[in-house]
Structure 1
Amino acid sequence: MESSKEKDMRQPDLIIPYQEPAPKGDNVEFQTTLASTLPMAAVFMRNKYVGWSAVAFSIQSWLGESEETKKSTGTPGYFNVGMAVSSLLVTYLPLFLPQQGAQRGSATEAPAPAPA
């Protein structure tokens, strides 16, 4: 009968309570800086790849923000996501609203004659 009961080998005096590690503030700051500056870079360069990376970084920083970073940063995470999505819309805007002068011709051709 004694073999069916197993003896508890844990010793209460050896138990170490869990201590949460100290957060690394530098990574969070760098990530939020990227999340807020990449949308501006995407708008200025009209680069779709930078726009998509801005969306990815902003969502990642929004999901990873803690209570301490919410208090220390001025803009909330969802604001950065909105800016990234709007920068992505700006980069895709020429697909839906093409420019009038870009329909025909090249930059090296002579301009069309002006109507009399």
Structure 2
Amino acid sequence: MDYTKDMRQPDLVIPYQEPPPKGDSVEFQSTLSSTLPMAAIFMRNKYIGWAAVVFSLQSWLGESEDSKKGNSTPGYFAVGMSLMSLLVTYLPLFLPQPGLQQGTATDAPAPLPA
């Protein structure tokens, strides 16, 4: 083969340009990581609390330099909020509320005081 005859023309070379990132998935994940802890606190649901921890950890570990500049709250704040929501959901396990009896729906009602 004859490599002396190069047909490439340097003036026709097009430099690589990185495509712009899609911002929709990052915004959706950020929204989930900030609203799931609130839902767990209001509903006192442990499963939503654990999902909030997982989503906030994923969004914190997956944030880029551009998303750090665009967000007003840092990623570790969402992790702290989700851990706090998990603490709130497990709080009645350690600090039971006085006056509430744990009964079933088939028990007889409690007697009224005289």
Q: Distance in 2 between matches of 1:103 and 1:110?
A: 10
The share of aligned pairs that are identical, in percent, is: 74
Alpha-carbon shift at residue 94 of structure 1 (Å): 0.5
Using the size of structure 1 for normalisation, the TM-score is 0.75
* Distance change >3 Å, CA 104–CA 23, structure 1 → 2: closer
Question: Unmatched 5+ residue regions in structure 2?
Answer: 1-7, 9-13
Question: Which residue, out of 41, 44, 57, partners 2:42?
Answer: 44
Q: Distance in 2 between matches of 1:112 and 1:106?
A: 18
Superposed counterparts of 1:21-100, under 5 Å: 21-100=19-98
Q: Distance in 2 between matches of 1:28 and 1:21?
A: 16
Q: Distance in 1 between matches of 2:98 and 2:104?
A: 13
Q: RMSD across aligned C-alpha pairs, in angstroms?
A: 2.4
* Distance change >3 Å, CA 65–CA 109, structure 1 → 2: same
Residues 70-113 of structure 1, C-alpha deviation per residue, up to 9 Å, x if partnerless? 11111100000000000000000010001112235568724541
Any idea what SS the aligned residue of 1:39 has?
helix
Name 1:6's counterpart in structure 2.
none
Q: Letter of the aligned partner of 2:52 in structure 1?
A: A
Question: Unmatched 5+ residue regions in structure 1?
Answer: 1-12
